[in-house]
Structure 1
Amino acid sequence: MGSLIITRTFIKYSLFAFNIIFWLLGTVLLVIAIWSKTEKGNLMDFNSMAVDPATVLLIVGAVMFWIGFFGWVGALRENVKFLQVFATSLVILFLGEAAVGILAFVMKEKVREVVEEHMFDAIKAYRDDSDLRDAVNVAQRTFKCCGVRNFTDWQENVYFKCCNEGIESCGVPYSCCKMDLQVNLFCGVKIMDYTTEEYCTNTNQYVPMNHIKKEVSADDQIYQTGCLVTMEGWFNTNLYYIGGAAIGVAIVQIGGVWLAQSLTHKIKSVSAGYYHQK
């Protein structure tokens, strides 16, 4: 009987600690998401709920809050129904993650097309949304890239298009530049060489990659590879680490289900009088 009580207490408080962390993380994500929605608006307004970071945070935070709440209360109060809701929710979450992973692998070309489309949308809206602009700059500086496929993709933005007469025309954002510590906001200005008659009459034609002013020396000044290509390379290079992290998350979720089921079993056993003191 003593060992049963010790085991039950250990499982109870292990599950309680697991869920209090889970619940707190969900609460933090919810607060950030609600703040983003009310104060900052959509960080990436692509007319798609799926790619709005604030919406993603809101959904993830709500799910974590829901699961953590039922697991926390279920463990603390030894409520079998709450524990069953918690375990079922974790199983559904695990199956959903597995389904998304499988679909992403099977339909990777379609996923790539969708990501590429939204990245071009981000380029087009670069000057219209300060949060989006910051996100793009961070991505380009982090992954040491420029544009989607290459730096000429910035011709999709009206401010950087060569046919525009503004100061940024025929250039790229400063985050495309190869800088270590000192930031030069004008290092990407007017780096391309073009002919008005050839490229401004055809709005669908880019200035070719090799049309860069000689004095700029683009190989030394800006990154030419696009972020989609660079990110794909990073993903492939770190595939084992990403897979390991996914397996780790799965183990944690399965462990949570096991703790909930074990505690439920012991609660039911005691309630049924299965254990008795000899």
Structure 2
Amino acid sequence: MAETHPPYSSFKKLSSFFNGITAVSGVVLIGLGFYVKFRGAALTRVLGLSHAHLHHVGYLCLVLGCVTVLLSFTGWYGVTKENRGTLLFCSLFMIFILIMEIGVTSVVLGFLPTVQDMGLEHNVVTLRTNYKGFNEPDDYSTDWNSVMEKLKCCGVKNYTDFSGSSFEMMTGHAYPRSCCKSIQTVACDGHNVSTDIIHQEGCLPKLLEITKTQSFNLSGGSLGAAVIQLPGILATLLLFTKLG
């Protein structure tokens, strides 16, 4: 039977409380992972590497969140049983997770300017090479059609991105039907570039805005989780020391 330490009851209550808060931070991380995976993921997939970067960070948040929740329950057990080994184990692992969360924040915010700088030319070249058409079954064309229809835009910069593209050479059209404001209209013939017929704005600014929002939410959530977890780590280490 575990030895009781009445003078430390306040520390135990404090540590148990912070373990509950730590569990909440784990749920926040899990939520962030799902947010990145599903919120706008289908649209930003056309950005290629930048999408993959955020996607991988999202998976990392899912893993960190699940581990954090498990550690919070383990820490609660250690507090209840006054088990110094368990408390030390949880504290060290939580410090590691804390460092990872700060790393996630730094990487996401550091990578964002690179995405903005490289996004334009890379995506124009890729679009001209890989886009096949409105009803083509390949994933790349399907993703771009979805982006242009949902975001109400055309091309990366504008409809001129399709000039000299594989799509134009195969179809003879200056733009695909997904660029049209009304796909079913007769005037949407691939040649009429009137502002009444097609969207004049490119998709990249809107895609970058989605990516920026995801990045800020991801980095802010990770940093917030780290701040929430820090008092719990300190309280657990303090109890570990007192029980010695």
Q: Report TM bin, short chain.
A: 0.5 to 0.7
CA drift at 1:220: 0.4
CA drift at 1:68: 2.6
In the alignment, the residues of structure 2 paired with residue 25 and residue 191 of structure 1 have an alpha-carbon distance, to the nearest angstrom, of 43
In the alignment, the residues of structure 2 paired with residue 256 and residue 99 of structure 1 have an alpha-carbon distance, to the nearest angstrom, of 20
Q: 1:145 aligns with which of 145, 150, 153?
A: 153
Which residue number corresponds to residue 71 of structure 1? 68
In the alignment, the residues of structure 2 paired with residue 130 and residue 102 of structure 1 have an alpha-carbon distance, to the nearest angstrom, of 33
The TM-score, its normalising length taken from structure 1, stands at: 0.60
In the alignment, the residues of structure 2 paired with residue 173 and residue 249 of structure 1 have an alpha-carbon distance, to the nearest angstrom, of 39
Which residue number corresponds to residue 55 of structure 2? 57
CA drift at 1:31: 9.8
SS of 1:220's equivalent in the other structure is coil
**Contact 2:157-2:203 at 8 Å conserved across structures:** yes
- Aligned length in residues: 215
Which residue number corresponds to residue 252 of structure 1? 224
Counterparts of 1:125-274 in structure 2, within 5 Å, are 125-127=130-132, 130-159=138-167, 161=168, 164=170, 166=171, 169-179=172-182, 183-184=183-184, 188-191=188-191, 212=193, 218-229=194-205, 245=217, 248-249=220-221, 251-272=223-244
**Contact 1:19-1:71 at 8 Å conserved across structures:** yes
In the alignment, the residues of structure 2 paired with residue 229 and residue 23 of structure 1 have an alpha-carbon distance, to the nearest angstrom, of 28
Which residue number corresponds to residue 3 of structure 1? 10
CA drift at 1:9: 1.7
CA drift at 1:137: 2.4
Query: Which protein has greater RCO, CA pairs closer than 8 Å, 6+ apart?
Result: 2
The TM-score, its normalising length taken from structure 2, stands at: 0.66
CA drift at 1:71: 2.2
Which residue number corresponds to residue 106 of structure 2? 98
Which residue number corresponds to residue 275 of structure 1? none
In the alignment, the residues of structure 2 paired with residue 176 and residue 113 of structure 1 have an alpha-carbon distance, to the nearest angstrom, of 25
Q: Which runs of 5+ in 1 are unaligned?
A: 33-42, 193-211, 213-217, 273-278
In the alignment, the residues of structure 1 paired with residue 243 and residue 158 of structure 2 have an alpha-carbon distance, to the nearest angstrom, of 67
CA drift at 1:103: 5.8
SS of 1:225's equivalent in the other structure is coil
SS of 2:200's equivalent in the other structure is coil
SS of 1:16's equivalent in the other structure is helix
Change (3 A) 1:253 1:22: closer
Q: Which amino acid aligns with 1:118?
A: H
Q: Percent identity?
A: 16
Mapped pair 1:122 → 2:127: yes
Q: Which runs of 5+ in 2 are unaligned?
A: 1-6, 39-44, 76-85
CA drift at 1:69: 4.0
Q: Which amino acid aligns with 2:153?
A: C
Q: Which amino acid aligns with 1:152?
A: T
The superposition leaves residues 137-179 of structure 1 with CA deviations (integer Å, 9 ceiling, x where unpaired) of 23223433211222111124323x1x54x3xx22322221113
